[in-house]
Amino acid sequence: QQQVKQSPQSLIVQKGGISIINCAYENTAFDYFPWYQQFPGKGPALLIAIRPDVSEKKEGRFTISFNKSAKQFSLHIMDSQPGDSATYFCAASRKSDKLIFGTGTRLQVFP
């Protein structure tokens, strides 16, 4: 079922730095690409999402960059804060079907 590959597995960033997490997908029929954020002991929660008709979407400090030809998309967290420390999952789905999740990236932001 592994159709979405995520890297890196873990990431350590200093406060104020940029965090970048990458995902690659295989199924060209995917048309919805969300990122979920998960804190310890909690369920994943939607952070930001993009469709393949745009190359970038920005919401506050969080930006998704999408490269349709390369079948890749990435999450950029600008001015990373200790409160951003969490596990991040990329996901993809086709026509409102089930979400297929990546394996996750554990982000640690140090002061």
Residues of the shown chain interacting with other proteins in the complex, contacts defined by CB under 8 A: 1, 6, 31-32, 34, 41-46, 49, 51, 89, 91, 93, 95-104
Give the three-class secondary structure for 82: helix
Task: Tell me the closest approach of the beta carbon of residue 37 to other proteins, in angstroms.
Answer: 11
Task: Tell me the closest approach of the beta carbon of residue 35 to other proteins, in angstroms.
Answer: 12
Nearer to other proteins, 79 or 97 (CB): 97
- DSSP assignment letter at 66: E
Nearer to other proteins, 80 or 102 (CB): 102
> Residue 42: CB partners within 8 Å, gap ≥ 6?
none
Task: Tell me the closest approach of the beta carbon of residue 80 to other proteins, in angstroms.
Answer: 21
Separation of alpha carbons 49 and 58, rounded Å: 9
Q: State the pairing for strand pair 105-110/10-14.
A: parallel
Nearer to other proteins, 15 or 42 (CB): 42
Task: Tell me the closest approach of the beta carbon of residue 16 to other proteins, in angstroms.
Answer: 28
Nearer to other proteins, 71 or 106 (CB): 106
Say which residue the tokens 């952070």 belong to: 47
Q: State the pairing for strand pair 10-14/72-77.
A: unpaired
